[in-house]
Chain A
C-alpha cells in the first residue's frame, strides 16, 4: 500500500460498514449480527496491529530515550541514548513520522476547512488499545447479551412491583449495531487530524453512549440516566463550542498541526488562549466525567455491562483525556493548573464516594471517575506522558474489572455486593482475573497500574518541587500531591473492599450463591486476555522504560511534553504511593478480608460523614435544587403563561370566529335560503292551482282560448272606453 495511513482509514470504515449492514439487516440477522460486528472490529484490530508494527519500524517507536532533554533534568533510565540519535535511515526523522491525508471540505471566504486523518504515535497507540479492547468486548458481549436472543425477553427491572411482567422482543442485533457505530465514531475521533472532525465524532460517541445507556429503555432509571448523560455532556460541549469558536476566529484553522504552528508563532496568547483552552477542557470535563460534571457516569451504569466496560470505562470517557493530551499545546499554564485542580478534586471525591457504595458497578464507575481524575491531574501538572500512559493501562484493567463484574452480575443476578460473597469457589476464573484487575488498579508493584500511577505521582511531586513555594502555587501544588497520594490509598481500599465483598467470606444470600456459576468461554477468554494485559502493560520488556511510554514519547504527538522528573523524585513519589497503597490494602483486609473490625460500626461512628458519602457528596441533590428545580419551576411558569395567555388568545379568536360563523350561517339559512325557497314555494303553489286547467281535452282548450280571448278583448274594450271618456 502506498500510504500506510490508509490502513487506518479502512480500519475506521470497517465498523461503519458493519453498522450499515446491521442497520439494514435488522432483527433477521440474530446472532449473525454479532459475528459481523466482531469480524469488523477484529479486522480493524488486525489492521491497526499491522499499522503499529509498520509505524514502530519506520518511526523508531521503541528505541529508548531520544526525547530532547530539558535543562537540569536527569533521565535516569538506563538506556544510554544520546540526545541527537540519528534516525533509522528510512527517510523519516525522529519524532516527525506522520501519515496523513486531507480533503478540502468547505471554504468560507479565504478560510478553508480541510478534513483529514493523521497517524502519529499517539494515534497508533490509542488505535491499538481501542480496537483491542473493543474486539475483546465484542466477543464478551456474544456471551453476555445471549438472553437477548430469546423471544420474548422478560425484564423484571422494567416494571414497578405489582405491575404485570414486561415481555419484549430481544434486541441482540440492535446492541451490536450500536456497538459498531460506537467503534466507528471512536476510531474516527482518534484518527482525525483536526478539532472540527474530532468534535463531530465526539458528538457521535455521545449519541452512541446515549443509545446504549438507554438500551433497556423500558426501565425508568435507564432512560433517565440516558437523558442525564446526554444533557450533562451538552453542558460540557457548550464550552467546547466556545473553544472552537475562539480557535476559528483567531487562527482560522482547525488542523492540530496548523494550530500548533500558529500558537508557536504567538498568534493567540494571553487570556483568550486560556479561555480557549478551558473551553475545550470543558468539553473534556463533560465527556470524561470530571468534577463538576461527573454525575452522569455512575447513572450510566444502567446500560449493559459490556457497554460500561467499553464506553464508560475504557474508551469514550478516556476521549476527554485523549483530547487534552492531543491539544496539550493549547493549554496555558493557568489552564493547566485548573486542569490539575479539577483532576485532583475529582479523583479524591470519586474515591471517597466509591468507599461506601454497594452496587458493584457503581463502585467501578466512581473508580473510573477517580482514575480519569488521575489522568487529568497527570496532564495538568505537565505529565503528558504519565497521563496518557495511565489512560492506556487504565483502559485494560478497567475494562477487565467491568467485564468481571458483568460476569458476576450475569451469574449472581444482582448488582448488590451485600448479597454476594464467597463466589470465589463458584467462579474461579472471574475471581482470579478480577483480582489481577484489582491489583493493577490499586497500584501493587509488578502490575501495570503501579507504573502509570507512579509516573503521575512523580510528576505531581515534581510539580510541587518546581512550583514557587509561596502564594497560590504554594498551597495548591502540595495539595495536588497529597490528594493524589490519599487517592491512591482510597483506591486500594475500595477496590479490595469490592473484591473481598464479592468473592470471599461466607455467602450472604444463599439464593444468589446457589444460582451462581462460571460464565461461558466467550466471556472468560476475553477476561484472561485482558488480565494478562493488565498485568504486563506497564512492563519495559528490556527496553529500559515501559513500552507504552516509549511509544508515546518517540513521536511527534508529544514533542516537548515528555520531559521526565528526576529519578530521585520518581523514587520518593513511588515510596509515598506504595505506602499509601499498603495502608489501603491493610485497612481493606482488616475490614472486609478477616473482618477484625466491622465496617458498619465505623459507619455508625461517623454517621454524618457516612451519609455525606452515601449521598455522593450531595451532588445530585445540589444540582436538583440549584438547577433542575428552578428550571422546572420556570418551565411551569412559562407553561402557565402559554396555557392562559397564548392559548387563551388563540382559543378566544377561534371562539369568536365560530360565533360569527354561526350567526352568518343563520342569516344564510333563514334570509337567503328563505327568499329562494319562498320563490319556489309560491311558484309551486301557483302551479298547483293552475293545474286543473290542463284537462287534456283539446276542445276544452279551444273553448278556454276563445273565452280567454273574448275576456281579454272585453277587458281591453272596457278599459279603453273607461280612459277615453
Chain B
C-alpha cells in the first residue's frame, strides 16, 4: 500500500456522484436510450465500489472479479434492452418511455 494511494473516501465520493448522476438520468430522461445510459452509470458506480472495497478485504481479487461480472453482465443486458427498444420503436415509432403505459390497468 503506497503513500500516494487515493483514499477510500475519495473513490466512494466519485462513486456516489456517479450513482446519483445515473439515478437522476434514469428519473429524468424520457428517451429510453438515455435511461439505459443512466443504468450503465449506476452499475459502473457499484463496480467502482467493488474495486475500492477489495483493497480492504482479505479475499484477494474477488472484488475485481465481481467488477468484471459487473462489466460483462450489463453488456448482455444492454443488448436485450436495445432489442426491446427496437421492438418498442417498431410499434410506437418513438422511444419515449412515457408512451409505454398500455399495461397499466
A105-139 contact mask (Cβ, 8 Å, vs B): 1 or 0: 00000000000000000000000000000000000
Partner of B27, one of A691, A696, A699: A699
CB-defined contacts of A696 to chain B, threshold 8 Å? 100-104
B67-105 contact mask (Cβ, 8 Å, vs A): 1 or 0: 000000000000000000000000000000110111111
Measured in the bound complex, the distance between the Cα atoms of B27 and A698 in whole Å is 8
CB of A702 within 8 A of CB of B103, answer: no
CB of A697 within 8 A of CB of B27, answer: no
CB of B23 within 8 A of CB of A697, answer: no
Partner of A698, one of B97, B102, B105: B97
CB of B101 within 8 A of CB of A703, answer: no
Partner of A697, one of B28, B101, B102, B105: B101
Chain A residues touching B, majority SS? helix
CB-defined contacts of B23 to chain A, threshold 8 Å? 702, 706
Listed residue (A694, A696, A706) with the most chain B CB atoms within 10 angstroms of its CB = A696
- Interface residue A249 (Cβ < 8 Å from any Cβ of B): no
- Interface residue B26 (Cβ < 8 Å from any Cβ of A): yes
Partner of A699, one of B26, B104, B105: B26
CB-defined contacts of A691 to chain B, threshold 8 Å? 105
- Interface residue A720 (Cβ < 8 Å from any Cβ of B): no
CB-defined contacts of B26 to chain A, threshold 8 Å? 699, 702
CB-defined contacts of A721 to chain B, threshold 8 Å? none
Q: Which of A690-713 contact B (CB under 8 A)?
A: 691, 694-699, 702-703, 706
CB-defined contacts of B103 to chain A, threshold 8 Å? 696
- Write the chain A residue with the least CB distance to B25: A702
- Interface residue B35 (Cβ < 8 Å from any Cβ of A): yes
- Write the chain A residue with the least CB distance to B35: A698
CB of B30 within 8 A of CB of A699, answer: yes
- Write the chain B residue with the least CB distance to A709: B23
A664-708 contact mask (Cβ, 8 Å, vs B): 1 or 0: 000000000000000000000000000100111111001100100
Measured in the bound complex, the distance between the Cα atoms of B105 and A694 in whole Å is 8
CB of B104 within 8 A of CB of A695, answer: yes
Q: Which of B17-72 contact A (CB under 8 A)?
A: 23, 26-30, 35
Beyond A702-B26, A702-B27, A706-B23, whether A694 also contacts B97 by CB under 8 A is no
Measured in the bound complex, the distance between the Cα atoms of B97 and A706 in whole Å is 18
Measured in the bound complex, the distance between the Cα atoms of B39 and A699 in whole Å is 12
- Write the chain B residue with the least CB distance to A706: B23
- Write the chain A residue with the least CB distance to B28: A699
**Nearest-CB distance from A696 to chain B (Å)?**
3
CB-defined contacts of B28 to chain A, threshold 8 Å? 699
Listed residue (A694, A697, A702, A703) with the most chain B CB atoms within 10 angstroms of its CB = A702
Measured in the bound complex, the distance between the Cα atoms of B104 and A699 in whole Å is 14
Measured in the bound complex, the distance between the Cα atoms of B26 and A697 in whole Å is 12
CB-defined contacts of B105 to chain A, threshold 8 Å? 691, 694
CB-defined contacts of A699 to chain B, threshold 8 Å? 26-30, 35, 97-98
Measured in the bound complex, the distance between the Cα atoms of B103 and A694 in whole Å is 10
- Write the chain B residue with the least CB distance to A695: B104
CB-defined contacts of B27 to chain A, threshold 8 Å? 699, 702-703, 706
A85-118 contact mask (Cβ, 8 Å, vs B): 1 or 0: 0000000000000000000000000000000000
**Nearest-CB distance from B63 to chain A (Å)?**
22
CB-defined contacts of B98 to chain A, threshold 8 Å? 697, 699
Known: A699-B28, A706-B27. 6 other contacts (CB 8 A): A694-B105, A696-B102, A698-B100, A699-B26, A699-B98, A703-B27
Please report A residues at the B interface, Cβ cutoff 8 Å: 691, 694-699, 702-703, 706
Return 19 A-B CB contacts under 8 Å, by A number.
A691-B105, A694-B105, A695-B101, A695-B104, A696-B100, A696-B102, A697-B101, A698-B100, A699-B27, A699-B28, A699-B29, A699-B30, A699-B35, A699-B97, A699-B98, A702-B27, A703-B27, A706-B23, A706-B27
The 4 A-B pairs of least Cβ separation, nearest first, read: A696-B104, A696-B101, A702-B26, A698-B97
